[in-house]
Amino acid sequence: MSSDIDKLAEKTANLSIDPVYDTNWCDMPAEIKLECIGKMKFKERSTAKAERLLVDSQNIQFSWGHFYNDARHVWLTSNNDEEFSKRFRNPNNGGEFLKYIWKIGVFKTFLIGSCFPTAKETFLNYTGMISADNIHIGSCDNEMVVDVLKKLTDGVKSITMYCAEGFDYNFDEILEISQVQNSKNWFIEKYHQTDILAKFAQMWIDKNSKIGSTLSFSVKIDRAFDEFSENFADRIVTIREKKVRIRTNNSDRHILLDRGTNERLGRWLKLKFYRLSVISADMIESEF
């Protein structure tokens, strides 16, 4: 970082303005300070006090942000592998820190998981947006899931939901959210409402979704494949034991559902896995 500061100091000295600034921080113009702030690690930025507004105007890249346990525990990893973990005895203090991180952070992966009242209240009261490439949601009720998804900025690449037992979700409401409609990859683990396969497919048909859009879904023993085939009986192009292909309203793309079972998890936790995807109408079966 020292070489960067030396270059910035030289740049400051050569500014064609009067008076000529020296290298003290307080004498530097805002544009030079912003360049310096952009080079700081997260811990260095978080201790800055004198010019908080200037510091907070610069986003910081995180490869991983993990927020859970009643707003008491925060775990961050920055793009330069700097790790930061913080626990709070008082969840209210933790909530204020969370809002600050969500405001300045740009996350490659953002994981939020808590059904505790304080954590939920913290998130619902947050009025900003969250920038993340990949979002993971676990142990959250429908109200919080919807709120999380609505607060995502555009450009989300994948959404993962870990569905805790006892939670129900309104996918009719969830699939109306634009960030959801524009995300190409969905992963839903261990959820009992198998009709979401048909709901996703119908959403893709209605929105003319892009080729390559996928939903991976796991569930305990069920009849989701038969339900899907019956629901789209008038659109079926081909059907096999583990695959069904349906036409959309666009002649150049189809939707494919295929299924499998993970026998290694044991009889008591045997899961069926489904992959729903938008494919080219020209794709042949050997390419699946």
Extents of the domains making up the chain: 1-51, 59-183, 211-288
pTM for this predicted structure: 0.76
Gap between the Cα atoms of 112 and 148, Å rounded: 9
Gap between the Cα atoms of 141 and 287, Å rounded: 39
203, 215 contact by CB (below 8 A): no
Gap between the Cα atoms of 138 and 112, Å rounded: 7
Can you give the pLDDT at residue 268? 47
Gap between the Cα atoms of 89 and 258, Å rounded: 47
| Crossing angle between the packed helical segments 91-104 and 117-124, to the nearest 10 degrees | 40
Gap between the Cα atoms of 174 and 244, Å rounded: 25
Can you give the pLDDT at residue 263? 53
Gap between the Cα atoms of 160 and 218, Å rounded: 12
Can you give the pLDDT at residue 158? 95
What is the share, in percent, of the chain residues with pLDDT greater than 70?
Answer: 66
Q: Which two tokens stand for residue 127?
A: 């009025």
Can you give the pLDDT at residue 103? 85
Burial class (CB in 10 A: 0-12, 13-18, 19+), 67: buried
Q: Mean pLDDT, consecutive 10-residue segments, the chain of 288 residues? A: 56 52 61 61 58 63 76 63 69 74 88 74 88 91 91 93 82 92 90 91 95 90 88 95 94 93 54 91 81
243, 257 contact by CB (below 8 A): yes
Q: Which two tokens stand for residue 131?
A: 């920038």
Strands 243-247 and 236-239: antiparallel
